[in-house]
Chains A and B, each alone.
Chain A
Amino acid sequence: SQQGEEDPQALSIQEGENATMNCSYKTSINNLQWYRQNSGRGLVHLILIRSNEREKHSGRLRVTLDTSKKSSSLLITASRAADTASYFCATVLIQGAQKLVFGQGTRLTINP
């Protein structure tokens, strides 16, 4: 079963707008990561946020983590057509052998 669930499943916005994707998870985590996947390609790591962090920035990306609500959000500011891709959150659990478990992803489309 999936640990992380992204919301929405699909998002379509105009170029220049901000895109926000959410991820909820079920059990306590060591860290949470966001990945991007272009069609037909492998996933690319975007950002990692540790369980003791609340917010992290990388360029146009902003990630928040609320461990009390077991949720995270990824904000992409000033979106570009090249940001069109699927975005996945992945969690590393505290329990067990620290495997990396992915959610179902959000399909983001940026319209020029």
Chain B
Amino acid sequence: DARVTQTPRDKVTEMGQEVTMRCQPILGHNTVFWYRQTMMQGLELLAYFRNRAPLDDSGMPKDRFSAEMPDATLATLKIQPSEPRDSAVYFCASGLTGPVGNTEAFFGQGTRLTVV
């Protein structure tokens, strides 16, 4: 089965450390999303890419977060330095967007980040 793969599944780190989360989108998908889920804020869109180009990262704190797609098989989300308020589940999703923009998103299992 084609699926979105995220690593690591769980990450516990100390405040101030760099955190890198990785995502392998489904082969052939041209759109990649990064979301953060917390009880208080729900699902927040952090960034997304179309054909590896960043389209919108307005939901991402620019001073500490960065998102990249070094190639079509890898998307990364980095936090440097990490803070306790970054603790959340981070989801990557990919999809195939056609001319009319109907993107069905396929989600990975998420990375549960805990910053202590």
Interface residues of A (CB under 8 A from B): 2, 30-31, 33, 35, 41-45, 48, 50, 88, 90, 92, 96-105
Interface residues of B (CB under 8 A from A): 4, 33, 35, 42-43, 45, 48, 50, 55-56, 91, 93, 95, 97, 100-110
Q: Is the CB of A45 within 8 A of B105?
A: yes
Across chains A and B, which 4 residue pairs bring their CB atoms closest together, nearest first?
A: A42-B107, A102-B43, A98-B101, A97-B55
A33 to B95, CA, bound (A): 13
Q: Is the CB of B103 within 8 A of A100?
A: yes
Given contacts A42-B107, A45-B106, A101-B45, list 14 more A-B pairs with CB under 8 A.
A30-B102, A41-B110, A42-B93, A43-B105, A43-B107, A44-B107, A45-B105, A50-B102, A92-B103, A96-B56, A97-B55, A98-B103, A99-B55, A100-B103
Q: Is the CB of A30 within 8 A of B101?
A: yes
Q: Is the CB of A99 within 8 A of B48?
A: yes
Q: Is the CB of B48 within 8 A of A43?
A: no
A31: B residues at CB distance < 8 A? 101-102
